[in-house]
Chain A
């Protein structure tokens, strides 16, 4: 159920982000979710792609500092309070969320969210138990 996420270090310099997307495009890698946060000096770009291994290798070959980690993807109902139900479960179980972000596109009446949590395996267990939809990695890569 764990989904592979690519993190890319970007120094604050114009053209860096475009370079990343160009490399992915040339390698026919599709981005299904992304998030970028920055400080004044640098940023970290986080990506969910259809072929994480290939993306990691391509970016490394082009001189980027890259890491690959596991995150979970959940589907929640796309209506007020939808996300809160899932986060409430994690909070009650004292599972901390390091960061989260939403998908670029979403099919149907569900919203998909990527979560980076302290204990991913236990998070999947408690969420599934409470009927929150946890997406399989193959399902996510195909989005």
Chain B
């Protein structure tokens, strides 16, 4: 099934015509309504009318996460606040989140984008979907929710957590689709096992996974444990949230909704545009977004684009699963975590040294993060309670900034590896 044949099965020429018309429009809107873009354009003598072909997009400077941070919260919005009907946010490189706003039409386009990937993955209005993404500022929960409703699927907005209850709801409400992060859904399978819930005692047949990447091995494990087809989708709050791209039932790359989100691949260091089939950093331009247009946003995600028509009949460009990042962002239980955020908490705290190490592991199927810090102050040694208080204080401060619970471990001074070059702050053991 194809949700919107007119958008998903265009010839290359037809698609490019749509993209060019929309590109000209979004560039004009961004230039006229967002001082940040106007300044960027003026600095290099670029005018919206200089964008005549799609190739001309390469003249536009890149936008980065830092730009969003510097314009916190609303300065990149291109419409008056009364036009904005929704705010979402995700964690940035420092304590302040990255904020995005949606107009009513943005919400409509967002739901449309998500609806396409749900149908591509095999969802239909006969289905019942349990959403186990957290609802809130994170785009995952609401993004999928609206898309599911648009398709006509019965939505069970269970949100994350309370795993025993999730299993009860899944059986009693008869969910056929589960929507969440792969690590949480794998974890749920362990709960199911503990509760004695076997295949055949639930009706799940399809999983829609996003918020974090997963290896082919992890996908195979999810499919085996639940007896479902597991499909992956991709998105980021800065662009729209989920809905940028998603896999069809053939699981051979994620179809990009390129009539809304224009993809490019660049060589990360030089910024030069690369061609189809070449591995590089994904850069996205929102072609229709009104609330907060993004021109050439650097996702930092490494992937490859493939323009070949898919077995499913769709002609839109597909992207590979994300192969890595160009920065040190970690995705832990679906939450973006930057080592610099952790650093901002630790540096300047009393009793501990400035060095730290972040260790990410899998505990069962869940991500587990541990932060080692060096205890340098002997005064704390008189009472255990003092040391425990210190650990709890660090933990609490980290939670405030990161939104996730991190284990804090005090270690001896000078035992954290020092480096003369780039410090190795992160040890990620999840794929071992």
Contacts and interface: CB of A to CB of B under 8 A. Distances in A.
Nearest to B351: A65
B413 A42 contact: no
B387 interface: yes
Contact of B410 (A11, A37, A98): A11
Contacts, number: 57
Given A37-B384, A39-B384, A98-B383, A9 B409 contact: no
Contacts of B412: 9-11, 16, 63-65
Chain B interface main SS type: mixed
A137 B378 CA distance: 22
Contacts of A69: 382
A111 interface: no
A133 B384 CA distance: 29
Nearest to A56: B378
Contacts of B409: 11, 41-42
Contacts of B411: 11, 13, 42
Nearest to B381: A7
B344 interface: no
Interface residues of B, number: 20
Contacts of B382: 7, 67, 69, 98, 116
Interface in B395-421: 409-415
Interface in A17-64: 37, 39, 41-42, 44, 63-64
Given A9-B375, A42-B387, A63 B381 contact: no
A7 B387 CA distance: 13
Nearest to B376: A65
Nearest to A16: B412
Chain A interface main SS type: strand
Contacts of A13: 411
Contact of A9 (B378, B383, B388): B378
Interface residues on A, range: 20 to 34
B379 interface: yes
A66 interface: yes
Contacts of B388: 39
B410 A66 contact: no
B415 A11 contact: yes
A67 B384 contact: no
A83 to B, nearest CB: 23
A73 B224 CA distance: 65
B414 to A, nearest CB: 4
Contacts of A7: 378, 381-382
B331 to A, nearest CB: 26
B377 interface: yes
Contacts of B384: 37, 39, 44
Nearest to A43: B384
11 contacts: A9-B412, A11-B412, A16-B412, A42-B387, A44-B387, A63-B412, A63-B413, A63-B414, A67-B378, A67-B380, A67-B382
Given A42-B409, A63-B413, A67-B381, 6 more contacts: A7-B381, A9-B380, A11-B412, A16-B412, A37-B384, A64-B413
